[in-house]
Amino acid sequence: MLTPLWLTLKIALLATLMAGVVGIALGWWMSQRRFAGKNLIDALLMLPMVLPPTVLGYYLIVVIGRNGVLGQYLDRWFGINLMFTWQGAVIAASLVSLPLIYKAARAAFEDVDGRFLHAARTLGAGEFETFVRVTLPLAVRGITAGLMLAFARAMGEFGATLMIAGNLPGKTQTLSIAIYDAVQAGNDAQALWLTLVISVVCVVVLVVSGRMLQAKH
Amino acid sequence: MTTILELRVQAQLESPGRSFLLDASFNSTTQRTALVGASGSGKSTVLMAIAGLLPQARGYVRVAGKVLLDTAHSVDLPARERGVGLVFQDYALFPHMTVEQNLAFGICRLGKRPNEAERGRIDALIRQFDLEALRGAWPRHLSGGQRQRVALARALAPQPHFLLLDEPLSALDAQLRVRLRHELAEMLERVQVPALLVTHDLSDVEALAQSVIHLDKGRVVDSAITESATPT
Amino acid sequence: MTTSSSRWLGKFTLLAALSISSATLHAQEVVVSAAASLTNAFQAVGQAFEKSRPGTKVTFNFAASGPLLAQIQQGAPVDVFASADQETMDRAAKANLLAEGTRADFARNTLVLIVPSTATAVPQKLSDLGNAQYKRVSTGTPSSVPVGRYTMASVQEAGLTATLEPKWIYGESVRQVLNYVARGEVDAGFVYRTDALIEKDKTRIALTVPTTTPVSYPIAQIASSKNAALGKDFIAFVRSDAGQQILDSFGFSKP
């Protein structure tokens, strides 16, 4: 009864992790430099959040489908096919989460007063040490809030996930897809139960992340 | 008299709608020097150049016998190697660290716990600046005067050869300023580290410095040794 | 009222009257929910129907039979329902959704096993699907798509349920199954012969699969329909010689 829940949590957790690493790194990089084309890169990074999920799903198929730009090599050289797998679902979910984390991380880093970084440097800290001891702790609240929103978003990912991972009960049938499936089959009781489960989880995520956003310093 | 501070710096600063050219040259032979000028004259920029926080700086900076910048010979020490302490105008105490942790920042590097000797240095600083009761306090709970003491102690923690102070009293109200001017003068005398002090308040110059440099629109327009000069 | 504002009122009334009358003109519209496998054939039937009755408009809604039933249950304004198996229509009848005495069978189809045209391995018999080279086999989701149910029944009949269990890739409709095979995302798929004919270039039929029940398509009027007369006409057209000829040209057989 609850397999879709565990599957959803697993996929959402991994997707948030992947998108987190990339999003935080990009957020840091973009917060530090000013260069031509910065706005364009920013727009590209926010694109997965704005594009319709089916468009995203289609692009993913073009790239990682069995005959896709990358997919054909994955299949030929490694025998790996990401379509209809939970790993494919993780990729779809991380793509839609990335903009949320990137945006939150970049804003959090930009909010760190440059004078603290100057102080750290005059006190003998190198760039990495300054990042770890000063920048990161001051940005961590904003970043964490971004991560939690990304997690909630990854949990609810439907359109692109359905196109890439399909609807395979026990393997790729996430909560959202299970609800869709139940509605399609006319199974209202199942649909209602699953909807309640995911609603509760989402509310919890939002309440906790809301608390984290309350400034303390 | 030996030269304590020798500076010939040019820097071009661009910001949207504004272009500022710093072209300052001066020497100082006194232990404590004041740098005065109207706002926008480039005083803080000079401090940044000495501290190694101004990547656009070109020229020559020698402080307490150590060459920090020498563009002609490709010398440009990064801030962390310059041995110059900086006290910011609003102190810039790390908000996520206690007073003790702020002080320890300049003494212990990443991931290392302070050893015996380092513990000793931290404790000495705390005693010297009368911060025993505030060891575990958070910067946001401190008064202006307390923050100033912590900022000074923190800047001195890594035992710098030279000290830079950016308007150290301007963040305080008038009454406090008078009292703390005395305290600051005493502390600087005690600590015996040569210093360059930026201020727009002439009372500061009188109480704290032995010579003064005037800056206007990025250039030095006047310099003088004040009456309370002490030859070194 | 001044002359200019009365002129405005006059214009407005005329405009309103025109739009109301044009609405009544297009009241000759019938909404048909039909199984995905009927997409191409019914679109042709619809065009022929509109031509034979000028001023009418047929609006189609194609999807798997299960979801279509769910929509009707939720109150979708459908006039005619055509499903790909009797079971879905039975469910509709049980839910009292059908107009009395309007249900009739109008076509038959065949279940086939197809592979991508680029496939190197082509199954000679159903049990070949158990071989390692067939890693992914697709059919419709059995709970809501008729082709999935026909497939599962046939697979069970052949004793291959356990063998194929880990290989299934379910599609939301028979057309999605067809798409998966055409794109080479799966190694083989179960669709209707009429669907295989649509993707002649990208797929090839490996074998015809015997089904435990005939693949029989029923059609019926929905009880809550507001266009009963036109709905009745449409069903009659589908069952007429003209309609049957069109269905035949797409590969359907007589009911």
Quick: pLDDT tens for C35-75.
999 999 999 999 999 999 999 999 999 999 999 999 999 88
Chain A / chain C CB contacts < 8 angstroms = 48
Asked whether B219 and B24 are in contact (CB, 8 A), the reply is yes
Distance CA A114, CA B104 (A): 20
* Minimal CA separation from A129 to chain B, in Å: 6
Give the percent of chain A with pLDDT over 70. 98
ipTM of the shown complex: 0.90
Q: Is B155 on the interface with A (CB under 8 A)?
A: yes
**Long-range contacts made by residues B175-180, C-beta under 8 angstroms, separation at least 24?**
B176/B144, B176/B145, B177/B201, B179/B145, B180/B145, B180/B148
Determine whether the interchain pair B158/A134 forms a contact, defined as Cβ–Cβ distance below 8 Å: no
| B232 has a pLDDT exceeding 50 | no
Strand C104-109 versus strand C80-82 pairing type: unpaired
Alpha-carbon gap, residue A21 to C171, rounded angstroms: 34
pLDDT classification of A138: cutoffs 50, 70, 90: very high
Q: CA of A134: which chain B residue's CA is closest? A: B94
User: Is residue A74 less than 8 Å (CB to CB) from chain C?
Assistant: no
Coil, strand or helix at A87: helix
- Contact: C66, A184; criterion CB under 8 Å: yes
For residue A127, the chain B residue with the least C-alpha distance is B80
What amino acid is encoded at A185 in this protein? A
Cβ of B96 within 8 Å of Cβ of A138? The answer is: yes
Chain A interface includes C144 (CB < 8 A): yes
Q: Is A168 on the interface with C (CB under 8 A)?
A: yes
Amino acid (1-letter code) at residue B201: D
Q: Does B159 touch chain A if contact means CB atoms closer than 8 Å? A: no
* Helix residue ranges, H only, A112-135: 114-122, 127-130
Min CA distance, C231 vs chain A (Å)?
Answer: 25
CB-CB under 8 Å, B109 with A129: yes
Subunits that touch chain A (at least 3 Cβ pairs < 8 angstroms)? B, C
Helix axis angle for C146-157 and C174-182, nearest 10°, is 70
Inter-chain CB proximity B80 and A121 less than 8 Å:
yes
- Chain B, 163 to 222: residues with Cβ < 8 Å from chain A are none
pLDDT tens string, chain C, 255 residues long: the values are 556 666 666 666 666 665 555 444 455 899 999 999 999 999 999 999 999 999 999 999 999 999 999 999 988 999 999 999 999 999 999 999 999 999 999 999 999 999 999 998 899 999 999 999 999 999 999 999 999 999 999 999 999 999 999 999 999 999 999 999 999 999 999 999 999 999 999 999 999 999 999 999 999 999 999 999 999 999 999 999 999 999 999 999 999
Whether A123 contacts B101, CB under 8 Å: no
Task: Name every residue whose Cβ is closer than 8 Å to that of residue B79 and which is 6 or more positions away in sequence.
Answer: A118, A121, A122, B51, B52, B53
Would you call C39 helix, strand, or coil by DSSP? helix
Give the nearest partner residue to A217 out of B48, B86, B95, using CB atoms.
B95
* CB–CB contact C172 A186 (8 Å): no
Residue A52: alpha-carbon gap to chain centroid: 16
**Which two structure tokens, joined as six digits, stand for A55?**
């468009």
Q: Which residues of C1-17 are buried (b: 16+ CB within 10 A; e: fewer)?
A: eeeeeeeeeeeeeeeee
Chain-chain contact of A121 with B53 (C-beta, under 8 angstroms): yes
Chain centroid, CA C189 distance in Å: 18
CB within 8 Å: A124 and B80: yes
Instruction: Give me chain B's average pLDDT, please.
Output: 88
- Interface check for A32 against chain C (CB to CB < 8 A): the answer is no
Tokens 């310099």 locate to B223
Give the tens place of pLDDT for each residue, B51-63.
Answer: 999 998 999 999 9
Q: Are A83 and C185 a contacting pair at CB < 8 A? A: yes
Percent of chain B with pLDDT over 90: 50
Other chains touching B, judged by 3 or more CB pairs under 8 Å: A
Dump pLDDT digits (tens) for B109-162: 887 888 888 899 999 999 988 899 999 999 999 998 899 899 999 999 999 999
Taking the C-alpha atoms of residue A122 and residue B157, their distance in angstroms, rounded to an integer, is 11
Which pLDDT does position A210 carry in this prediction? 78
**Given CB atoms, is B60 within the 8 Å cutoff of chain A?**
no
Mean pLDDT of chain A: 89
Task: Give the one of B80, B82, B85 whose C-beta lies nearest to A125's C-beta.
Answer: B80
* Closest C-alpha to B163, from B87, B85, B95, B83: B85
Nearest to B86 among A122, A128, A132 (CB): A122
Q: How does pLDDT run across A156-189, given as a tens digit for each residue? A: 888 888 888 888 888 889 998 899 888 888 888 9
Determine which of A123, A132, A141 to mutate to test the interface with B (most B C-beta atoms within 10 Å): A123
Helix (H, G, I), strand (E, B) or coil at C106: strand
Q: Do chain C and chain A touch with ≥3 beta carbon pairs under 8 Å?
A: yes
Contacts of B68 in chain A (CB under 8 A): none
Q: For residue A217, what pLDDT is reported?
A: 45
Measure the CA–CA gap between A95 and A83, rounded to whole angstroms: 15
Q: Is the pTM of this model over 0.90?
A: no
Taking CB atoms and an 8 Å limit, are A123 and B82 in contact across chains?
A: no
Window C:158-217, CB contacts with A under 8 Å: 168-172, 183-185
Q: What is the DSSP string of chain B?
A: ---SEEEEEEEEEEETTEEEEEEEEEEE-SSEEEEEE-TTSSHHHHHHHHHT--TT-EEEEEETTEEEEEGGGTEE--GGGS-EEEE-TT----TTS-HHHHHHHTTS-TT----HHHHHHHHHHHHHTT-GGGTT--GGGS-HHHHHHHHHHHHHTT--SEEEEESTTTTS-HHHHHHHHHHHHHHHHHH---EEEEES-HHHHHHH-SEEEEEETTEEEEEEE-TT----
**C118 contacts in chain A (CB < 8 Å):** none
Of C149, C178, C163, residue with least CA distance to C65: C149
Query: How far is residue B151's CA from residue B140's CA, in Å, rounded to a whole number?
Result: 13
What confidence score (pLDDT) does residue A1 get? 64
| Neighboring chain A residues of B53 at a CB cutoff of 8 Å | 118, 121-122
Q: B95 in contact with A at a CB cutoff of 8 Å?
A: yes
Kindly state whether C142 is in contact with chain A, defined as any CB-CB distance less than 8 angstroms: no
